[in-house]
Homo-oligomer: A and B are copies of this chain.
């Protein structure tokens, strides 16, 4: 359906994630080295990017679209353990096997680096190693934040938490502020939301309906969401209404 932007980016200077990705701190000469080992790959929504347990031959950054990290038990229960948005890094320098499935949740474009050359480059480029540590610490914070959601929040609070995270990320990407009503499209199916929240898709659907009935959110169609009062949503999420606005 979508036209594939297969190889349309080539210059790092024009890159939409230039200032946030693993290359954020790189200077011109470092970028040149990166350009020599990079290549773009596109995936369609639903495609698996990396299978858990596979050898990983590349690492890379999400340029556009959304990918998810998921774990699956033998009996089929699945838990999403990460949501990868533009500028997020995929891969584990120094590790061989992939610990999770990486799946394209929407159409996805990635900026990939061959793993070996990237590792060598990283070893002699503190700007990259440092940025990667920063990003990994952020991911760890996000994962721990999510442990509170999974372990202690009610279904309604879980949904509100997810909506508030998506709303904030969307605001930070589109540079609309957080004042006034927030409007965005849900990038996840009800099932993907359920996998992220540790719920069933039926419960997700019911709680979204309930939040809608109570006026916390408005829906047009199934995916287009308006949040009239962000403070209200964050109360529903059980979060401190103050602070956290700069995430």
Contact = CB atoms under 8 A, between A and B. Distances in A.
Interface of A: 69, 71, 73-75, 77-79, 81-82, 92-95, 99-100, 123, 126, 129-130, 132-134, 136-137, 139-141, 143-148, 150-152, 197-198, 238, 240
Contact of A136 (B78, B99, B136, B198): B136
A134 B73 contact: no
Given A81-B148, A92-B137, A150-B150, 17 more contacts: A71-B147, A73-B152, A75-B238, A77-B152, A79-B152, A81-B144, A81-B147, A82-B144, A95-B137, A99-B141, A99-B144, A129-B129, A136-B140, A143-B144, A143-B147, A147-B147, A150-B151
A160 B227 CA distance: 41
Contacts of A94: 133-134, 137
Contacts of A144: 69, 71, 81-82, 99-100, 143
Q: Taking each of A75, A133, A139, A141, which has the highest tally of chain B beta carbons within 10 Å of its own beta carbon?
A: A133
Q: Taking each of A71, A93, A134, A144, which has the highest tally of chain B beta carbons within 10 Å of its own beta carbon?
A: A144
B136 A73 contact: no
A95 B130 CA distance: 13
Contacts of A129: 126, 129-130, 133
When all copies of this chain in the complex are counted, the total is 2
12 contacts: A71-B144, A71-B145, A73-B148, A73-B152, A79-B152, A81-B144, A82-B144, A94-B133, A94-B137, A136-B136, A143-B143, A150-B151
A154 to B, nearest CB: 10
A128 to B, nearest CB: 11
B140 A71 contact: no
Given A94-B134, A137-B95, A140-B139, A147 B148 contact: no
A204 to B, nearest CB: 13
A126 B82 CA distance: 28
A200 to B, nearest CB: 11
Contacts of A141: 99
Given A71-B148, A140-B143, A133 B132 contact: yes
Contacts of A152: 73, 77-79, 198
A30 B34 CA distance: 30
